[in-house]
């Protein structure tokens, strides 16, 4: 019997580490991790994992990383979690008004949140197309919903997640024809206690700030119970559908 294989991309994020912890703790899957920083996995003393370090998430680095996965000669990958993204940096903050909008910041956010994930899916799809089921989860956000946008602001982040959802929706339509074994999931984790949300946690209602372990458990359960139905599912941490 072939042991299931999980791939975590952007594996140094808080939720990604929690997903890895759950997988390694339960010994459910073999594990491949990809990140610019793999110190967590090297220092943790966890059971062996395949570790692939990248310099960045450019098209060239993504192609090279996928070639390294191919070199592992793995028979099938059953779950993929694409966890990386950006909301703020030392130089970028979510826009509160139109005057805050900056073209270079917009491009950086768009590349991290929309372009990089679809490049991963583009490069991985040829090796995933087989009889083995594979579920690919990409971290999106509820603010990517055009219908749900009641507050405005956060122009770049909202646009990047809306663009991501459209790219995933379009890819799901194509994969229905050429790779029926692949399921795409656009996932909103809720506000999680990570560096990404740290500056904005004071406005989170009681009981709505989640720890990474909780989100990881929820996500794994949602993915494992999601049918291969050749559509994109846009869901939150409860597994509930989000309006487009």
pLDDT recorded at residue 140:
96
Q: At what angle do helices 116-128 and 59-71 cross, to 10 degrees?
A: 30
Q: What is the CATH number of domain 5-236?
A: 3.40.50.720
pLDDT: which is higher, 190 or 58? 58
**What CA–CA distance (Å, rounded) separates 80 from 6?**
6
**What CA–CA distance (Å, rounded) separates 227 from 24?**
24
Mean pLDDT (the chain, rounded):
91
**The whole model's pTM is what?**
0.93
Q: Is the pLDDT of residue 23 over 60?
A: yes
State pLDDT tens for residues 108-121: 999 999 999 999 99
Share of the chain above pLDDT 90, in %: 75
Q: Is the pLDDT of residue 200 over 60?
A: no
**What CA–CA distance (Å, rounded) separates 185 from 198?**
25
What average pLDDT does this structure show over 18-31? 87
State pLDDT tens for residues 51-60: 999 999 999 9
pLDDT tier at 196, thresholds 50, 70, 90? low
pLDDT recorded at residue 129:
82
Q: Is the pLDDT of residue 148 over 80?
A: yes
């Amino acid at each position: 019997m072939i042991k299931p294989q999980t791939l975590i991309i952007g594996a140094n994020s808080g939720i990604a580490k929690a997903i890895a912890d759950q997988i390694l703790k339960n010994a459910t899957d073999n594990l491949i991790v990809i990140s610019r920083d793999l110190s967590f996995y090297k220092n943790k003393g966890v059971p062996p994992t395949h570790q692939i370090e990248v310099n960045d998430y450019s098209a060239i680095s993504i192609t090279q990383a996928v070639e390294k996965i191919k070199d592992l000669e793995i028979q099938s990958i059953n779950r993929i979690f694409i966890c990386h993204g950006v909301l703020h940096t030392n130089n970028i903050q979510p826009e509160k008004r139109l005057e805050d909008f900056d073209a270079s910041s917009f491009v950086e956010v768009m590349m991290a949140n929309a372009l990089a994930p679809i490049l991963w899916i583009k490069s991985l799809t040829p090796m995933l197309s087989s009889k083995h089921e594979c579920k690919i989860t990409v971290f999106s956000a509820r603010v990517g919903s055009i219908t749900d946008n009641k507050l405005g602001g956060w122009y770049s982040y909202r646009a990047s997640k809306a663009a991501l959802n459209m790219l995933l929706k379009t890819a799901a339509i194509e994969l229905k024809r050429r790779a029926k074994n692949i399921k795409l999931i656009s996932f909103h984790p809720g506000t999680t206690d990570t560096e990404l949300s740290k500056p904005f946690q004071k406005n989170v209602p009681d009981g709505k700030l989640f720890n990474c372990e909780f989100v990881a458990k929820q996500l794994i359960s949602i993915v494992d119970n999601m049918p291969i139905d050749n559509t994109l599912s846009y869901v939150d941490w409860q597994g509930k559908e989000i309006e487009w």
